[in-house]
Amino acid sequence: MSENLEEILQVLKAGLLVNPKDPYKRFKLGSTLRKLGELQKAVDELRRAVELDPKKFNAHYELGLSLEDLERH
């Protein structure tokens, strides 16, 4: 599973090189980083997603979960 997440991570990063202000890709990148256990990076990306699209509920929710995970570790 980790190998698939690494592939997804690379695709998302490549997409953000084309459009760095894409809130959906930022959200997906943050979610993928969280699944990989890279919590601080996940929080950073999810914060960017929320800044780019404050109405994106999923990004707020995932950010909250990531912050909780970060606090536990």
Calpha distance 16→61 (Å, rounded): 22
Q: State percent of the chain over pLDDT 70.
A: 99
Question: CB of 65 within 8 A of CB of 31?
Answer: no
The answer on pLDDT for 16 being more than 70 is yes
Ordered alpha helix ranges (H), 1-73: 2-18, 23-35, 39-52, 57-72
pLDDT digits (tens, 9 = 90+) for 21-46: 999 999 999 999 999 999 999 999 99
- The CA–CA distances, whole Å, from 64 to 11, 39, 57 equal 25, 11, 11
Calpha distance 43→34 (Å, rounded): 8
